[in-house]
């Protein structure tokens, strides 16, 4: 195989996340050249022409793949179309970075993983939180046993919701296109982080609810996780929140790691008791733990494509997180704990 000097990149779906992360990322990366995008919405073509001139626009994916012959693509469409677009691009010989969640069903995720294997191409899922400095430091500290035996994780990701203000239209609130509400959208990031930091999940109990917005999907959710190693965890996600805690907390026998995305990553050690003799020792490990993420995602992805970095956010990781999210919906509907796998 001749060495590729500059990878021909294309983006499928040119909305908010494409314009915030993927398009500028491929333009900036010195090993890629952004040649094209696909989007059925003509309003996007106008925006791209204005903001990123010179990138050719298509409304047909097949036509773009045939004419542009890209080596790498990002799939940034609404969730329903992730599988079909990813499989088409893999079959056309592209490495694919697909946005989260991997797909709308486990069957689709399996087909995507099989297509990547068959094509011998890389498939990465956009679990952006893993690329923040704070989570990366926590992963390293867990491996070093800095907090001893970890037994509890709490994750809270919440904001005011994807529309209006972020996405180009209301599709996040349409069950058929989004495949879920906030428990899937924000929950998938939180679940992936929990799996990455604490390992496989054995069972989930969850409640998804529409508390505030007048939408046909959930806008708030709580998940209780039972890890295979015996640890417990809980996740709160929401689309209706004013600013508050955003991040995660890890509790171990020798210390706690509080990763507050806004106020910093702190390690707490010392003596904690129910009495007055508690002595807490706080150490600020990083005052900007949410540094990284979108601005470095495409560089990370291109390093993976070129074999310089190992692929960890792969199809299997995407599938594992989706399995927990779908089990959480099942639990919420049934009012019962659901075993995974
Ligand atoms: N990793 C992250 O942090 C992160 C953040 C936001 C969104 N996302 C994910 O990115 C994806 C896109 O979300 P968004 O916020 O950019 O939405 P968006 O509505 O802003 O953009 C979606 C775009 O896809 C286009 N589109 C629809 N169907 C298409 C098709 N079949 N082929 C090509 N284009 C199509 C739409 O016209 C629109 O321009 C979602 O899966 C979402 O979950 C990830």
Q: Determine the Cα–Cα distance for residues 85 and 326; give it in Å rounded to an integer.
A: 21
Q: Do 228 and 333 lie in a common domain?
A: yes
Q: Determine the Cα–Cα distance for residues 312 and 317; give it in Å rounded to an integer.
A: 7
On whether residue 161 sits in a domain, the answer given is yes
Q: Is 205 left (phi over 0), alpha (psi -120 to 50) or beta?
A: beta
Helix 315-334 / helix 106-119 crossing angle, nearest 10 deg:
170
On whether residue 298 sits in a domain, the answer given is no
HSE-up (13 A, CA, CB side) for residue 319: 15
Contact (CB, 8 A) for 187 and 121: no
Contact (CB, 8 A) for 90 and 115: yes
Distance 189 CA to ligand 1 centre (A): 16
Q: Do 102 and 140 lie in a common domain?
A: no
**Closest-lying ligand 1 atom to the alpha carbon of residue 293:** 3
In the chain, what's the furthest Cα-to-Cα distance?
A: 72
CA distances for 186 relative to 5, 106, 157, 219, angstroms: 37, 18, 7, 10
On whether residue 299 sits in a domain, the answer given is no
Rounded to 5°, the CA angle 54-59-65 comes to: 75
Q: Do 65 and 143 lie in a common domain?
A: no
Q: Do 18 and 143 lie in a common domain?
A: no
- Indicate whether this model's pTM tops 0.95: yes
On whether residue 330 sits in a domain, the answer given is yes
CA distances for 80 relative to 63, 67, 99, angstroms: 21, 25, 11
Nearest CA to ligand 1 atom 22: 15
Nearest CA to ligand 1 atom 25: 13
Specify the CATH number for the domain of residue 207: 3.30.360.10
Distance 66 CA to ligand 1 centre (A): 22
Q: Do 66 and 195 lie in a common domain?
A: no
Q: Do 184 and 247 lie in a common domain?
A: yes
On whether residue 304 sits in a domain, the answer given is no
Q: Do 140 and 219 lie in a common domain?
A: yes
* Phi, then psi, of 233 in degrees rounded to 5: -155, 160
HSE-up (13 A, CA, CB side) for residue 196: 27
CA distances for 91 relative to 96, 107, 114, angstroms: 10, 18, 11
On whether residue 118 sits in a domain, the answer given is yes
pLDDT in tens, the chain (341 residues): 667 889 999 999 999 999 999 999 999 999 999 999 999 999 999 999 999 999 999 999 999 999 999 999 999 999 999 999 999 999 999 999 999 999 999 999 999 999 999 999 999 999 999 999 999 999 999 999 999 999 999 999 999 999 999 999 999 999 999 999 999 999 999 999 999 999 999 999 999 999 999 999 999 999 999 999 999 999 999 999 999 999 999 999 999 999 999 999 999 998 889 998 999 899 999 999 999 999 999 999 999 999 999 999 999 999 999 999 999 999 999 999 999 98
Q: Do 198 and 136 lie in a common domain?
A: yes
pLDDT of residue 3: 79
Tell which residue, 15, 2, 31, 328, has the closest CA to residue 181.
328
Final residue belonging to a domain, choices 92, 125, 158: 125
Distance 102 CA to ligand 1 centre (A): 12
> Residues 163-220: pLDDT tens digits?
999 999 999 999 999 999 999 999 999 999 999 999 999 999 999 999 999 999 999 9
Does residue 128 line the site of ligand 1, with CB under 6 A? yes
- For a mutational test of ligand 1's pocket, the pick from 76, 239, 297, i.e. the residue with the most ligand atoms closer than 8 A to its C-beta, is 76
Final residue belonging to a domain, choices 108, 125, 142: 125
pLDDT of residue 1: 63
On whether residue 1 sits in a domain, the answer given is no
For residue 268, list its beta bridge partners. Answer: 256, 282
On whether residue 219 sits in a domain, the answer given is yes
Length of the chain: 341
Q: Do 64 and 181 lie in a common domain?
A: no
**Closest-lying ligand 1 atom to the alpha carbon of residue 20:** 16
Domain count, the chain: 2
Q: Determine the Cα–Cα distance for residues 249 and 301; give it in Å rounded to an integer.
A: 27
Does residue 39 line the site of ligand 1, with CB under 6 A? yes
Q: Do 144 and 112 lie in a common domain?
A: no
Does residue 41 line the site of ligand 1, with CB under 6 A? yes
Instruction: Give the containing element (helix H, strand E) for 296.
Output: helix 294-305
Nearest CA to ligand 1 atom 21: 15
Q: Do 135 and 98 lie in a common domain?
A: no
Specify the CATH number for the domain of residue 105: 3.40.50.720
Q: Do 139 and 274 lie in a common domain?
A: yes
pLDDT of residue 5: 85
Domain of 112 in residue numbering reads as 7-125
How buried is 111 (Cβ within 10 angstroms: 0-12 exposed, 13-18 middle, 19+ buried)? middle
Final residue belonging to a domain, choices 91, 125, 159: 125
């Amino acid at each position: 195989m001749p060495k590729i000097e500059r990878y021909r990149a294309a983006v499928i779906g040119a909305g908010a996340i494409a314009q915030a992360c993927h398009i500028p990322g491929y333009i900036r990366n010195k090993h890629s050249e952004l040649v094209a995008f696909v989007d059925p919405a003509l309003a996007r073509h106008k925006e791209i022409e204005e903001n990123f001139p010179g990138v050719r626009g298509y409304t047909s994916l097949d036509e773009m793949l045939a004419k542009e012959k890209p080596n790498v693509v990002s799939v940034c469409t609404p969730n329903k179309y992730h599988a079909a677009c990813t499989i088409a691009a893999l079959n056309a010989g592209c490495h694919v970075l697909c946005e989260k969640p991997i797909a709308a069903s486990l069957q689709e995720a399996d087909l995507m993983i099989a297509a990547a294997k068959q094509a011998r191409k890389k498939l990465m899922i956009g679990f952006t939180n893993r690329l923040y400095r704070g989570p990366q430091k926590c992963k390293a500290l867990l491996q070093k046993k800095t907090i001893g035996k970890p037994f509890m994780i709490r994750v809270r990701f919440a904001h005011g919701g994807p529309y209006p203000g972020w996405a180009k239209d209301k599709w996040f609130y349409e069950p058929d296109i989004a495949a879920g509400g906030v428990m899937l959208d924000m929950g998938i990031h939180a679940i992936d982080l929990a799996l990455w930091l604490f390992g496989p999940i054995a069972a989930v109990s969850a409640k998804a609810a529409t508390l505030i917005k007048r939408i046909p999907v959930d806008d708030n959710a709580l998940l209780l996780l039972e890890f295979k190693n015996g640890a417990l965890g809980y996740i709160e996600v929401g689309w209706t929140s004013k600013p508050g805690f955003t991040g995660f907390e890890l509790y171990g026998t020798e210390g706690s790691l509080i990763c507050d995305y806004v106020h910093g990553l702190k390690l707490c050690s010392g003596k904690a008791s129910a009495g007055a003799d508690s002595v807490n020792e706080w150490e600020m490990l990083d005052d900007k733990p949410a540094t990284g993420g979108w601005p470095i995602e495409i560089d990370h992805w291109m390093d993976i494509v070129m074999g310089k970095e190992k692929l960890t956010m792969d199809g299997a990781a995407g599938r594992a997180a989706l399995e927990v999210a779908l089990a959480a919906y099942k639990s919420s509907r049934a009012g019962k704990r659901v075993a995974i796998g």
